[in-house]
Structure 1
Amino acid sequence: MDTAVLTTEQVLTRDIPWETYMSTKLISGTCLQLLRRYDKRPESSRAQLLEDDGPAYIRVFVCILRDIFKEETIEYVLALIDDMLAANPNRVRLFHDESLANEDIYEPFLRLLWKGNFFMQEKSCKILGLIISARPRTLSGLVNGGESISKKKITTVDDVLKGLVEWLCAQLKKPSHPSRAIPTAISCLSTLLKEPVVRSSFVHADGIKLLIPLISPASTQQSIQLLYETCLCVWLLSYFEPATEYLATSHILLQLIDVVKSSTKEKVVRVVVLTFKNFLEKEAFIAPMVDLGLLQVVESLKAQAWSDEDLLEALNHLEVGLRVNIKKLSSFDKYKQEVLLGHLDWSPVHKDAVFWRENITSFEENDFQILRVLITILDSSTEPRTLAVACFDLSQFIQCHPAGRVIATDLKAKERVMKLLNHENPEVTKNALLCIQRLFLGAKYASFLQA
């Protein structure tokens, strides 16, 4: 059978010759006795054994993984551990019992991430992620958090987290299994990214770019779960400044908006909306969120029936925040930023009479800096839309500023606009003509001609 498609249930049907291992001194007599009591027993019996002597069984499992190299046996013990934790996730705390302080519980799983077949890798990743997440928080550092009196090197928490991040990124780049590797990696990552050190390591390993392609609307149950856990990873990363700086340069906003517009799964919508809520606190995301119409998406989501209170609260927070920022982004600062970038478009602010009336004196700042840049754009830009908008804005300044015609003339605007009257693009020539009319004929007459 292809080990890449093995299941825990299939592996647990095997009969492992524990007596042979004892006769060859690979396990002790005590280990054999514990295994005889535990192996092939019903869950109720195993539960009592783990309740009475759980750390002893953990020691047995770890020792077998450390000392025995036969694949069938390693797979079997990994399946036993997986089955044990599936029946009661709280049993993962047994790995951190004080009696195991000198036992290197991490090393066998960390080694199998790279040297085992995919079944071993998958189970080792899952188990290792659970163990590391369940460790006592006040005791990060050495394995089990304790000072080892042994002189042998013991795998530290940092070793484990570094090794896991490397393996997870490797799987996202080149999956070991065509259908199970990426879901396994993302599931583990969605748990580990709660650790600040993992966020840092993941960003340093350039892992974010490996997540982004996985964010797209999902249809099957499996892909929905993968999408949810990927979005969960992004949400966790949204608390980490270096991660948000990278995300702000990607197409992540557009992809997340597509996800919430098409998803009916509340948990998916919830984690994406909570991510938007975090992004709202970051300056780099505000303008894109407004420009991509997130407010309309939020209003649409609010009209739907959701039961999650956190989701409803986040939607309300987003709506208020976006409305405030839309007002801010209609201000002169947003306009100034657009002009300084040198790429103009017909956003509402350009033809907003209130904007020009309320902000016309702001053009006087820094010796008419923005007006000078507008006039420079007429010489330097090759984009027809930018040239047309620049001509229009210059004509608006001439019309609205009390000394607009005089100032524009002094800054040699006329010569530059005149060159555009014969431009091949009709939008450019139209707005260049409007500007010339206002320069020569005065604002009122130019408005009459335009009408």
Structure 2
Amino acid sequence: MDHAELTTEQVLKRDIPWETYMTTKLITGTCLQLLRRYDNRSESYRAQLLDDNGPAYVRVFVSILRDIFKEETVEYILALIDEMLAANPKRARLFHDKSLAGEDTYEPFLRLLWKGNWFIQEKSCKILASIVSARPKSQDGNIANGEASNSKRKITTVDDVLKEGLVEWLCAQLKKPSHPSRGIPTAINCLATLLKEPVVRSSFVQADGVKLLVPLISPASTQQSIQLLYETCLCVWLLSYYEPAIEYLATSRTVPRLIEVVKSSTKEKVVRVVVLTLRNLLSKGTFGAQMVDLGLPQIVQSLKAQAWSDEDLLEALNQLEDGLKDNIKKLRSFDKYKQEVLLAHLDWSPMHKDPAFWRENATNFEENDFQILRVLLTILDTSSDPRALAVACFDLSQFIQHHPAGRVIVTDLKAKERVMKLMNHENAEVTKNALLCIQRLFLGAKYASFLQA
């Protein structure tokens, strides 16, 4: 059978010749006794053995992986460990028992990551991630598994695993997976566990791993792809707490992709982790402006109207909504508007179509002898950018509408002739907004005539 398609159940049906290994002194008599008690037993019986003597079994499993290289046996031991951890993930703590001081419990798995077939790589990765994550949090990264500081034998440390081996292997899987359908999901699954560790975040960013996550942030349909999407977004959420990673996220299409996912996803856990990520990023750099431009305030309103059962999600949506409102206030400030006009970088940023901005700032256009209005008219005369022309026409129409003397001022500045020229522009957006501006001007003239009559 293809080793890439092997299952744990199939491997565990094998009959391993432990007596032969003892005869050839690859395992000890004590090791053989422990294996005989454990091998081919029920889960409940094995659970009792692990409760009574777990560290001894860890020592047996690690020594076999260290000393025996026969593929079928290596696969069998990895399957045993995988089954043991799947039944109770807390058993990963057994690898850090004080009685294992001096045992190099990381080395066999780290070595097999790069040298084994896919079954061996996948199991080694999962096991290594589990036992690294289960280590005592007070443990110094430079001392592994209770290793005595005066140990003569060099023992693989947590730093060795995370900085030199595991993260590198995970990034390699994201670039060129060893298995066509399981390589990337396996790597993402392990990263979702490991990126809780600051040292892993650092190593992952240094390995340029952030950009490998971004293409995986896309709407999903199948159960398998939804799980991959969820764990990918979980990785991004964990990285959103790490400043160097945020710099990478800012220079990629992370936010547009996250918003596309949250807009189309119905899976609550996916929506929750994306909303939490966006909430974290909102106050960083230009993320807030980007989210407003991409229409996130309206999407949040839509999400809030849905029946979610998760209270954390509802709270995060409220926090995200409040944060976006604060950003819109900042974005619609007159100083920001002036900068945009003076640099002639006119675009449909939120303030242009926000009635509150024009109500609050119409009189500010009087500064420096209507400097900003004059610059808008210069843009109408000189710009070849259809978007800038359309926005300038629209802004003039808003000034006419909201300033008490808007029509008179714009007419005195001879804006009507300039806008009229754009009524026949080849760009539909320009002609539409030129027409709107002219309508506002003419409406004022007719209204004035009606009052005089």
TM-score by length of 1: 0.85
Equivalent in the alignment of 2:183: 181
Q: In structure 1, what is the equivalent of residue 160 of structure 2? A: 159
Question: What does the per-residue CA deviation read over 1:1-39, in whole Å, with 9 as the maximum and x for residues that have no partner?
Answer: 000011111001111111111222211222112112211
What is the identity, as a one-letter code, of the residue corresponding to 2:216? L
Q: 1:136 to 1:387 in 2, by over 3 A?
A: same
Q: Could you say if the C-alpha distance between residues 159 and 364 of structure 1 is closer, same or farther in structure 2, counting changes exceeding 3 Å?
A: farther
Residue 111 (structure 1) aligns with: 111
Distance in 2 (CA, whole Å) between partners of 1:299 and 1:63 is 58
Which residue, 284, 302, 306 being the options, matches 1:304? 306
Judge conservation of contact 1:139–1:146 (CA < 8 Å) in 2: no
User: In 2, distance between residues paired with 1:434 and 1:40?
Assistant: 82
Unmatched 5+ residue regions in structure 1?
none
Q: Structure 1: which amino acid aligns with 2:306? A: Q
Contact 2:422/2:430, CA 8 A, preserved across alignment: yes
Please state if 1:238 is matched with 2:240. yes
Q: Tell me how many residue pairs correspond in the alignment.
A: 446
Give the Cα–Cα distance (whole angstroms) in 2 for the partners of residues 408 and 240 of structure 1. Answer: 54
Q: Corresponding residue for 1:257?
A: 259
Say what the alpha-carbon RMSD is for the aligned residues. Answer: 3.6
Q: What letter matches 2:279 in structure 1?
A: K
Comparing 379-388 with 285-294, which one deviates more in the overlay?
A: 379-388
CA distance in 2, matches of 1:343, 1:20: 79
CA distance in 2 between counterparts of 1:6 and 1:353 reads 63
Deviations 1:147-174 (A, max 9, x none): 3432221111111112111111100110
Distance in structure 2 (CA, Å) of the matches to 1:446 and 1:426: 27
The equivalent position to 2:319 in structure 1, one of 317, 320, 342, is: 317
C-alpha change, 1:76 and 1:392, in structure 2 (3 Å) is closer
Paired AA for residue 268 in structure 2: E
| Counterpart for residue 31 of structure 1 | 31
Aligned equivalents of 1:291, 1:166: Cα separation in 2: 36
Aligned letter for 2:118?
F
Higher deviation after alignment, 331-340 or 94-103: 331-340
With 28-37 and 192-201 compared, the bigger mean Cα shift is at 28-37
Alpha-carbon shift at residue 432 of structure 1 (Å):
8.2
* Partner SS state of residue 16, structure 1: coil
- Three-state SS of the structure 1 residue aligned to 2:145 is helix
Q: Which moved more, 1:235-244 or 1:185-194?
A: 235-244
Structure 2 gap segments, 5+ residues each? none
**1:281-300 alignment to 2 at 5 Å?**
281-300=283-302
Identify if the C-alpha distance between structure 1 residues 237 and 5 changes in structure 2 by more than 3 Å, giving closer, same or farther.
same
Corresponding residue for residue 268 of structure 2: 266
User: Which has the larger displacement, 315-324 or 58-67?
Assistant: 315-324
Identity of paired residues, percent?
78
> Which amino acid letter does the alignment assign opposite residue 269 of structure 1?
V
Partner SS, residue 16 of structure 2: coil
Aligned residue for 1:143, secondary structure, equals: coil
Contact 1:189 1:233 in 2 (8 A): yes
Stretch deviating more after TM superposition (109-118 or 217-226)? 217-226
SS of aligned partner of 1:25 = coil
CA 1:241–1:348: 2 relative to 1, 3 Å = closer
2:139, 2:419 → 1: CA distance? 71
Counterpart Cα distance in 1 of 2:307 and 2:423: 56
- Partners of 1:199 and 1:237 within 8 A in 2: yes
The alpha-carbon distance between structure 1 residues 393 and 44, as it changes in their structure 2 partners (threshold 3 A), is closer
With over 3 angstroms needed to count, the CA separation of the structure-2 counterparts of 1:128 and 1:336, relative to structure 1, is farther
After TM superposition, the structure 1 = structure 2 runs for residues 12-91 of structure 1, keeping only pairs within 5 Å, are 12-91=12-91
Secondary structure (helix, strand or coil) at the match of 1:138 reads coil
User: How many angstroms apart in 1 are the aligned matches of 2:352 and 2:133?
Assistant: 53
Going from structure 1 to structure 2, the CA distance change for 1:429 and 1:154 (only over 3 Å counts) comes to same
Following superposition, the deviation at residue 221 of structure 1 comes to 1.4
| CA distance in 2 between partners of 1:270 and 1:435 (Å) | 44
2:123 paired residue number: 123
Q: Where does residue 214 of structure 2 map in the other structure?
A: 212
8 Å CA contact 1:102, 1:148 repeated in 2: no
Following superposition, the deviation at residue 105 of structure 1 comes to: 0.5
* Segment of structure 1 superposing worse, 395-404 or 266-275: 395-404
> In structure 2, what is the Cα distance between the partners aligned to 1:420 and 1:59?
82
